[in-house]
Amino acid sequence: MTIFRTARQSLTATLAGWMLLFSGQIFASPGEVSNVHVVPAPLLLEYGSGRFGVEQGLNIFVKDKSGPAFTAAELLREKIATSTGLDVEIKHSIPSKAIPNSIQLLATDTDDSLGDEGYTINVTSRGIIARAPKAAGLLYAAETIRQLFPAELESKAQVPGLKLSIPALTIIDKPRFKWRGCMLDCSRHFMEKEFIFHYLQVLAYYKINVFHWHLTDDQGWRLEIRKYPRLTEFGAWRKGENGAPFEDGKTYGGFYTQEDVRDVIAFARKLNIRVIPEIEMPGHSSAAIASYPYLSCNEDMTEVRTEWGIEKTILCAGKESVFEFEENVLAEVAELFPDEYVHIGGDEALKDKWKQCPRCQARIKEEGLKDEQELQSYFVKRIEKILNKHGKKMIGWDEIYQGGLSSTAVVQYWNHDDYFRGAIANGNHVVTSPTKFAYFDYPESENTDKPKWMRVTPLSKVYSFDPIIEGVEPWQEHLVLGGEAPLWTEHAPQERVEFQILPRLAAFSEVLWSRRGPKDYEDFLNRLDANYLRLDVMGIKYNPFEKENRGKPETAVTPAP
């Protein structure tokens, strides 16, 4: 039997009150609850007596007719009706008492300690009642209820003879971190809009609430900017992959119209997922420079880059026309994306061109800067002012700390410990994404097609991650917003994304959601086994390495999919 508890004295008075409310229940025997395996682990799960079984004519009660709460009701209705063939109806009302054969999703403001995303679930033989202060909590309650049912719930067709039931239980749950993110690089390989919808549904299943959308890089500019049409007419396409021509001379790529972006944002909002765009600068900008060569120092880029690696041609920091370009681009980005943050990249900006550029050297002299590192700081600070002008806050990879940084920027730590420690000392909020724990483009095992420079990041390594990493003092912990798992796609086109992120996303979600303290990896694996069954029914093409090699030496090799 899997039981997650916290000491009663560690709960807030409100949570303790919830526990007292359900204290009359009797714990069930292990055999009765062996099918309950939730990922990420809830804060508290206790079992009662009896079971709730779904019957014909199930009613799902929810007041909202849109947003995450309605999404929660529609999710459960669709899953239950499809897998069982039963009639399931959503009712937009709030019952005054428990209703037999029902699932109630109730918004209540009586428990502020649950925060914006916490919830409670009470399952009895009569039905299920989920309560949450906010609609997001009801969505996460529904995702948990989904995992309480057998894996066959996920079937895309009716399962003959399927009977859905859940043991009587009580769950009290809320997340540890408010920033639980995944980054998807759609520049190296364009991902179709319908696939983005699917990807967002997978994130929501694991209670991930930030979609960091990497939209521009050296190999492609994916976002329609109406003032600069060549960015997508030319910059969204390349002649081949890693320099190899495609058949019939066809180009490779694609882009998202602004209407596409609005569709993705609307879809994500229903799943309580924030969409944060990344517009790379000053490095990783050769797709933009190929579209508008005047953006570079010496206008020498004529084609969108096809090979992987770091491009030396970057945006010129000495030209006012570059800042005018970014002002116009970011104005459209700010209008299109409602989230408070815009990510500017800022990583791997090689300074060779700046050292050779008379305009950049003149800028260093005019601004009294020490060197090219401080020139990058000058560039970043000007971009932050542009974003602030448009009502946005700036986030960037940890290199934005080079040469100094305002305390209002958010730093995404990925590789440079000194920049991370400096940002924390400077009072910056940080999101932690260290390569050795969180990079999902790195293989889960020694792989036959693994580039030599990539380190292996097994499931156990991901599960050992904590966003409060070494060097963060107790009084600084509030500066850590949470964590994020990037998937760079040099070696991961659309058809390989599921394989790269799963099952490691399950471990990552538990690290970000579940309570702080020692974690039981064996217990996680036990729950993951049940999760594998669900993914199988969903048709998700996850990496089977851990499942097939558990207990074997970690040097085992698995082939690419």
Residue 109 banded pLDDT, cuts 50, 70, 90 = confident
> In the prediction, which pLDDT does 448 show?
61
- Is the alpha carbon torsion for 5, 7, 12, 17 positive or negative? positive
468-495 per-position pLDDT tens digit: 988 899 999 999 999 999 999 988 999 9
Of 9-18, 349-358, 370-379, 460-469, give the lowest mean pLDDT range. 9-18
Going from the N-terminus, what domains does the chain have, and what CATH number goes with each?
8-173 (3.30.379.10), 178-214+430-561 (3.20.20.80)
Of 189-198, 417-426, 522-531, give the lowest mean pLDDT range. 417-426
Spell out the residues 6+ positions from residue 441 whose beta carbon is closer than 8 angstroms to its own. Answer: 454, 486, 487, 488, 489, 490, 491, 492, 500
Average pLDDT score over residue span 454-460: 91
Average pLDDT score over residue span 187-207: 97
pLDDT at residue 435 tops 70: yes
543-559 per-position pLDDT tens digit: 999 999 998 875 555 54
> In the prediction, which pLDDT does 552 show?
80
CB-CB contact of 374 with 403 (8 Å): yes
**217 tagged catalytic:** yes
Token look-up 């109806």 returns: 89
Residue 98 banded pLDDT, cuts 50, 70, 90 = confident
> In the prediction, which pLDDT does 243 show?
44
**Cα–Cα distance, 362 to 230 (Å, whole number):** 30
Q: What is the DSSP string of 170-192?
A: EEEE--S-SEEEEEEE-SSS---
**Cα–Cα distance, 326 to 387 (Å, whole number):** 10
Tokens of 189: 């390989």
Residue 110 banded pLDDT, cuts 50, 70, 90 = low
Q: Are strands 127-132 and 102-107 parallel, antiparallel or unpaired?
A: parallel
**Cα–Cα distance, 507 to 518 (Å, whole number):** 14
pLDDT at residue 31 tops 50: no
> In the prediction, which pLDDT does 111 show?
74
Tokens of 361: 């050297």
376-403 per-position pLDDT tens digit: 999 999 999 999 999 999 999 999 998 8
**Cα–Cα distance, 189 to 341 (Å, whole number):** 24
b (16+ CB within 10 A) / e for 255-269:
bbeeebbeebbebbb
**284 tagged catalytic:** yes
> In the prediction, which pLDDT does 27 show?
35
**Catalytic-role residue among 154, 173, 185, 217:** 217
User: At CA 541, angle to CA 535 and CA 543, rounded to 5?
Assistant: 95
Q: At what angle do helices 67-84 and 258-270 cross, to 10 degrees?
A: 80
Of 206-215, 259-268, 409-418, give the lowest mean pLDDT range. 409-418
**Catalytic-role residue among 307, 348, 374, 446:** 348
Residue 235 banded pLDDT, cuts 50, 70, 90 = very high
- Provide the β-strand partners of residue 394: 342
Average pLDDT score over residue span 463-468: 95
- Cα-based distances in Å from 45 to 25, 28, 145, 556: 12, 12, 12, 36
Tokens of 112: 């502020």
Q: Are strands 88-91 and 119-123 parallel, antiparallel or unpaired?
A: unpaired
**Catalytic-role residue among 189, 284, 343, 491:** 284
Phi, psi values for residue 237, rounded to 5°: -135, 145
Half-sphere exposure at residue 194, Cβ-oriented, CA atoms within 13 angstroms: 1
pLDDT at residue 268 tops 50: yes
Residue 17 banded pLDDT, cuts 50, 70, 90 = very low
Residue 208 banded pLDDT, cuts 50, 70, 90 = very high
Instruction: Please state the length of the chain.
Output: 561
CB-CB contact of 159 with 537 (8 Å): no
Of 4-8, 384-388, 455-459, give the lowest mean pLDDT range. 4-8
Query: E strands of 194-235, at which residues?
Result: 210-214, 216-217, 220-221
pTM of the full structure: 0.93
CB-CB contact of 103 with 145 (8 Å): yes
The neighbour count for residue 356, using CB atoms within 10 Å, is 11
pLDDT at residue 422 tops 50: yes
CB-CB contact of 210 with 274 (8 Å): yes
> In the prediction, which pLDDT does 286 show?
94
pLDDT at residue 13 tops 80: no
SS3 (DSSP) at 258: helix
pLDDT at residue 10 tops 90: no
**Cα–Cα distance, 140 to 143 (Å, whole number):** 5
Of 198-202, 313-317, 469-473, 496-500, give the lowest mean pLDDT range. 469-473
**Cα–Cα distance, 324 to 330 (Å, whole number):** 10
Q: Which 3-state string (H, E, C) describes 366-381? A: HCCCCCHHHHHHHHHH
Of residues 276, 293, 305, the one with CA closest to residue 215: 276
Phi, psi values for residue 165, rounded to 5°: -150, 160
